[in-house]
Each structure stands twice: as structure tokens, then as C-alpha cells.
């Protein structure tokens, strides 16, 4: 491929770079891979066994029957499965992985987001209206009362570097 061909192929990227030098065409690729890899590593290290789940969840009390909340759980779970099935469909196409990066990250994120929403709805029947509300509800309804297993119970209460480094150092012990 000659220089002129490369310029034609990357015209949009070059134009965006001229306007905004900090443009990142990989759209959170490294951060997402690190997040997924870290969770996989922690799950492998902790021995993620079905019998451990059964023992852990025997102490979690069921909420009373609530048809509206149950419908919300099914809706959230269905949305999660839709995004995760999109990831499965992307695996079929072994070529052009770079074309799927943005869609794969969005699908993975929303698969996790809606699964979290289903678990929150199963806990208390509530539905959050935004991502911050879902993150807060996850912490308040699942992490703090210890209703979720490690490593999914890991949580930071701040994004201020000096403060989250202190919290991470506590986890490292």
C-alpha cells in the first residue's frame, strides 16, 4: 500500500487528529481488556467453585414476591443476554476484528450493566435511571451488605487518585 492509499484509507482519522490531537480510535480497548483480564485472573485465583457459591448465598435472604420487580429482573436479564449474544455473534466472524472493537466493548459493557440491574432489581425491586445510580445501587444493595462474591464485590468509593490509591493499597494486603 502506497502513501497515497494510506492517506485515503485514514482520511477521517487524520482529519480528527488535526482537530483533536488526543483522539483515540481504539475506544477504551486497553482499559476494557485490562478490566476483563483482571476479573478473569481474580476468578481463576480465587477458585470460583459452584459449591462455594451455594455456601455463600445460603445466608442471603429472598425478598418477598413482587411481580413488578420480577418483571424488571426479567427485562434487565433479557437486555443483558441480548448484548452478550451480540458478542457471541461477533466471535463467528474471525476476520476484521478491528471493525468490531467499539461494538464489542459497548456490548460487553451493557451486558454487565444490565446484569447488574437485574441483580439490583432482584434485591429490592428498584430500577435506576442512569449509570451512576446503578453503580451506587450495586454498592449499597450488593457490596456493602456482602451479597456478592469476590471479585465482584471489589469497589472504589472515589476516582480521586490520592484517595483511590489508599483504597487499592488496603485491598493489596
Q: Which residue has the higher pLDDT, 170 or 10?
A: 170
- C-beta of residue 27 within 8 angstroms of C-beta of residue 101: yes
When pLDDT is averaged across residues 25-48 and rounded to a whole number, the result is 82
Residue at grid coordinates 480497548: 29
- C-beta of residue 122 within 8 angstroms of C-beta of residue 116: no
CA distances from 109 to 36, 47, 76, 81, 153 (A): 10, 24, 14, 12, 17
Res 1 pLDDT > 60: no
When pLDDT is averaged across residues 14-36 and rounded to a whole number, the result is 79
pLDDT for residue 94: 65
Res 173 pLDDT > 80: no
Report the alpha-carbon distance of residue 14 to residue 21 in Å, rounded.
10
pLDDT category, 8, cuts 50, 70, 90?
low
Share of the chain above pLDDT 90, in %: 33
When pLDDT is averaged across residues 128-136 and rounded to a whole number, the result is 93
Dihedral sign from CA coordinates of 119, 121, 126, 127: positive
Report the alpha-carbon distance of residue 124 to residue 127 in Å, rounded.
9
- pLDDT by residue (tens digit) across 37-91? 888 898 888 777 878 888 888 888 888 889 999 999 999 999 999 999 988 888 8
**CB contact set of 5 (below 8 Å; sequence gap of 6+):** none
Amino acid at each position: 500500500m502506497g502513501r497515497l492509499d494510506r492517506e485515503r484509507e485514514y482520511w477521517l482519522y487524520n482529519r480528527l487528529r488535526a482537530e483533536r490531537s488526543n483522539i483515540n480510535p481504539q475506544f477504551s480497548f486497553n482499559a476494557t481488556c485490562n478490566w476483563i483480564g483482571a476479573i478473569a485472573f481474580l476468578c481463576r485465583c480465587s477458585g470460583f467453585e459452584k459449591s462455594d457459591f451455594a455456601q455463600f448465598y445460603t445466608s442471603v435472604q429472598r425478598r418477598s414476591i413482587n411481580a413488578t420487580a420480577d418483571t424488571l429482573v426479567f427485562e434487565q436479564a433479557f437486555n443483558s443476554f441480548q448484548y452478550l449474544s451480540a458478542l457471541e455473534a461477533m466471535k463467528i466472524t474471525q476476520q476484521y476484528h478491528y471493525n468490531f472493537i467499539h461494538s464489542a466493548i459497548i456490548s460487553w459493557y451493557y451486558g454487565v450493566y444490565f446484569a447488574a440491574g437485574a441483580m439490583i432489581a432482584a434485591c429490592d425491586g428498584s430500577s435506576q435511571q442512569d449509570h451512576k445510580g446503578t453503580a451506587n445501587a450495586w454498592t449499597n444493595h450488593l457490596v456493602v451488605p456482602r451479597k456478592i462474591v469476590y471479585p465482584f464485590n471489589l469497589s472504589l468509593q472515589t476516582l480521586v487518585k490520592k484517595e483511590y490509591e489508599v483504597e487499592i493499597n488496603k485491598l493489596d494486603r
